[in-house]
Structure 1
Amino acid sequence: MPFNLPIFLTWLRILAIPLLVVLYYLPQGWLPGHERDLFATLLFMGAAFTDWLDGYLARKLNQTSSFGAFLDPVADKLIVAAALIILVELDRTNAVVAAIIIGREITISALREWMAKIGASKNVAVSMLGKIKTTAQMLAITLLLYREPLLGWDSLQLGNLLIWVAALLTLWSMGYYLHKAWPEIAKRTGAGL
């Protein structure tokens, strides 16, 4: 297993997941609600920033690796899933939207794994649509974790609007990736349109 700065940042993102969860399970009185939300928001924002930074550094420092390419999306999906589950439990977002986003992530991860196994991973490489979806998701989750008014905006209302936008982009991007993979799926399964 290679170890370099981009992979270290990815591991930090994974280590942030239990910290995020623990913040919401501390005994009452240990951390006031607003402070808990602020720490969770900052932790999630830091994780979202390292998502961008580790990829940038891997390319800039020529430290890309197959292990890093595997670990990075796993870390992203884990922290998003953990945050969504917390937000559903806190009744800050809808379980349907969480199921759409988490279900899509599992589906596309499985599709990418299968496509890599058959040597067709380029067909389902990350697209601009996927990057826009991820940005909407990260921004929405940040607002929902924060919960307090922000610059005169109701962050819960704005966060919920954005999380539904992210869910729609999630479905759209899933359709896009399935469409790109369909020729390989049809060829190997005999399925047609």
Structure 2
Amino acid sequence: MLTVPNILTVFRIALIPVFLVCYYLPWEHAMFTAAVFFWLAAVTDYFDGYLARRLGQETAFGAFLDPVADKVTVCAALIILVDFYNTLWITIPAIIIISREILISALREWMAEAGKRSEVAVANIGKWKTTAQMLALIGLISHFNDFIIYLAYLLLYIATALTLWSMVIYLKVAWKQIVAIDSVKK
């Protein structure tokens, strides 16, 4: 259970309060510092999965904790950004992204109980969504300059579109299973 990937995942969770505290500190570089810690969390997200596969250290604990760490990190960032920017242009994508995360988590849980967990495994579109989402959040958290903020908005909307697209893909796969299970019960 105490593997390098799991340590990275726990470290990512520990970074959440660090980036949140930094974000709200009353000093000039607080937001940029928070963005650096968020970036570090995003990088550990990549490396924990990569190392787990590469080193053959995939564990049930890691499979459980990694998506939890992802969702808590992203949701915490979205919540502070909705508060800071106070605009529908951030709030609507935030609601879509958070709602999708809850829906897909519940769907994966249900599919696992039905013995079909592998059918809703992370696809390549999910990796693109995560990349766009993390870059958008880093840019919005940093509040570095107008160009970065506009680019981050664009990436947030790309991430939101990919979020909806991946959700449709997951729901299509699950729908086939739901219909198949319901027809067997009749």
Say whether the fold is shared (TM-score over 0.5).
yes
Q: Deviations over 1:157-176 (max 9, x none)?
A: 11111101111110010000
1:67 aligns with 2:66: no
The number of residues matched between the two structures is 181
Which of 50, 69, 78 is matched with 1:84 structurally? Answer: 78
Read off the aligned partner of 1:104 and give its amino acid letter: R
Read off the aligned partner of 1:90 and give its amino acid letter: F
1:136 alignment counterpart:
132
* 1:180 positional shift: 1.1
Distance 2:50 2:169 in 1: 25
1:7 alignment counterpart:
6
After TM superposition, the runs of 4+ consecutive aligned structure 1 residues lying more than 4 A away are: none
Distance 1:128 1:8 in 2: 25
Distance 1:136 1:107 in 2: 20
Give the TM-score of the pair, scaled to structure 1.
0.89
Distance 2:50 2:150 in 1: 32
1:124 aligns with 2:117: no
Unpaired stretches in structure 2, ≥5 consecutive residues: none
8 Å Cα contact 2:23/2:33 also seen in 1: no
* 1:19 positional shift: 1.4
Q: 1:1-193 counterparts in 2 under 5 A?
A: 2-26=1-25, 28=26, 31-32=27-28, 35-91=29-85, 94-149=90-145, 154-190=147-183
* 1:24 positional shift: 3.0
* 1:154 positional shift: 0.7
Distance 1:61 1:155 in 2: 36
* 1:25 positional shift: 3.2
Q: Deviations over 1:85-143 (max 9, x none)?
A: 11111107521110000000110011011111111011101101111111110111111
Q: C-alpha root-mean-square deviation of aligned residues, in Å?
A: 1.4
* 1:62 positional shift: 1.0
8 Å Cα contact 2:24/2:31 also seen in 1: no
* 1:10 positional shift: 0.1
Distance 2:32 2:57 in 1: 33
* 1:188 positional shift: 2.7
Q: Deviations over 1:37-82 (max 9, x none)?
A: 1111110110010001011111121111111011111101110000
Aligned residue for 1:62, secondary structure, equals: coil
Unpaired stretches in structure 1, ≥5 consecutive residues: none
Which protein has the bigger helix share?
2
Judge which range, 5-14 or 54-63, deviates more: 54-63
Give the TM-score of the pair, scaled to structure 2.
0.92
